[in-house]
Structure formats: C-alpha cells, structure tokens
Amino acid sequence: MPTSKKESSRKKGQGNDPKEGFRVTLPGKAYRRGNRWWWRVKLPGEDKARARALKAEGVKAATSDEAEAERIAFEMWEQAVWEQAQKKARIESSETIERLKAQFLDKVRHFTGIVQDATSKAEAEGQARAEAEARLEELTRHTPVKTQACECCGATDIPAVTLQRIDSGQLLCPACMAALHHDGARAEASDFIE
C-alpha cells in the first residue's frame, strides 16, 4: 500500500515510464493497526462502510505484508462485485421471468376467450341447424307431396313441382325434358348441315 505521495503517484501509473502501465485504486482506506493491515470500506451490496482485517483465507490474523494486504483487498473487492452482479442478475432474471409469465398468461386468457366464443358460435349454429331440419322434417311429414304422371313416358309418382308444361300443353318429367332438348338440338344441327 502506498505510503507517500511520490510512491502513490508512481503506483497509479502517473510516472514517466510507459512500461509501468497503471493500477486500479480500490475505494476505502487501508491502514495499519499494530503491525497488521486493515481496510475500512463499503463493499458493493453493503449499506455502510466497516473495518475488515486483511487476512488470507484460513488464517486467524491480518497480514503484516503490504503487497499481500493489497492482493487480499483486491480479492475481497472482486468477490463482492461478483456476488453483487450475480444477485442483480438473479433479480433481473426473476423480474423478466415474471413479466414473461404474465404476458404468456394474458395471451392464454385471450386465446381461451376466442376458442370459447368460437365453440359457443359453432354450438349455436349446430343447434339452429338441428332445429331447422326438425321443422322441415315436421312440415314435410304432415304436408303430402302432390305427385302426377309424366304425359310423355308415363312415369308415375313424379312430384308435381318438377313437371314442366311444354308448348303443346303436355306435362313432362325432368328426364323427358332433357331428352326433348337433346333431340331438338340434334334436329337443329342437321338442318344447319343441309
């Protein structure tokens, strides 16, 4: 740890030698208590500064070596920064997960509503169709269908609504009408050729 302004200036990389590079200065204040090094600092994630003995892991007392004290202080700072970054990442990922979960649940509710509406409409349409078919069946069951015979081929039980009256006054079934149109077209074609 620097003890004089000249030494401090040199250790911060402000000297004239370009090969020296620079060193990062840690926050807080390093000091000796007796023959041992202590560090008063507020580490990342803490509310207030407190004094810490700069001692290696597994050792009971703080170190008396300045270089080792600086290394230990740097490791303590690095560990605190790492733990704070992990804590922040966990909080941010939890918030992100909660936000995405809420968005997902909103989408599920939205699509569930759409499916329920579509299902309700399909059921209503099915019910309306079933009712219409039942009414139609009821009407056709009680209303007798009027039938007549074809005056061309003599077929009986032809629904009267399907018979067509031709110029001569005869009632023809759909099959006879189709044959009549076919024969008429063939006769016109043969007249055209002659």
Tens digits of residue pLDDT in 162-180: 999 999 999 999 999 999 9
Average pLDDT over residues 15-37: 78
Residue 171 forms beta bridges with which residues?
Answer: 165
Average pLDDT over residues 133-141: 82
81 part of a folded domain: yes
135 part of a folded domain: no
**What percentage of the chain exceeds 70 in pLDDT?**
85
Domain limit, last residue, from 87, 105, 125: 87
163 part of a folded domain: yes
Q: Specify the higher pLDDT residue, 104 or 185.
A: 104
Output the pLDDT for position 4.
Answer: 41
Domain limit, last residue, from 70, 87, 104: 87
151 part of a folded domain: yes
The long-range contacts involving 144-152, CB below 8 angstroms and separated by at least 24 positions, are 150/175, 150/176, 152/176, 152/180
Pair 81, 151 in one domain: no
Domain limit, last residue, from 50, 65, 87: 87
Q: Is 169 left (phi over 0), alpha (psi -120 to 50) or beta?
A: left
What's the domain range around 40? 5-87
Residue 147 forms beta bridges with which residues?
Answer: 159
Output the pLDDT for position 192.
Answer: 61
CA 92 to chain CA centroid, Å, is: 19
Residue with tokens 């202080």: 73
Output the pLDDT for position 194.
Answer: 58
Contact between 177 and 164 (Cβ < 8 Å): yes
126 part of a folded domain: no
Pair 83, 9 in one domain: yes
Radius of gyration (C-alpha) of the chain in whole angstroms: 51
User: How many folded domains does the chain comprise?
Assistant: 2
SS3 21: coil
Q: Specify the higher pLDDT residue, 183 or 87.
A: 87
Residue 29 forms beta bridges with which residues?
Answer: 40
54 part of a folded domain: yes
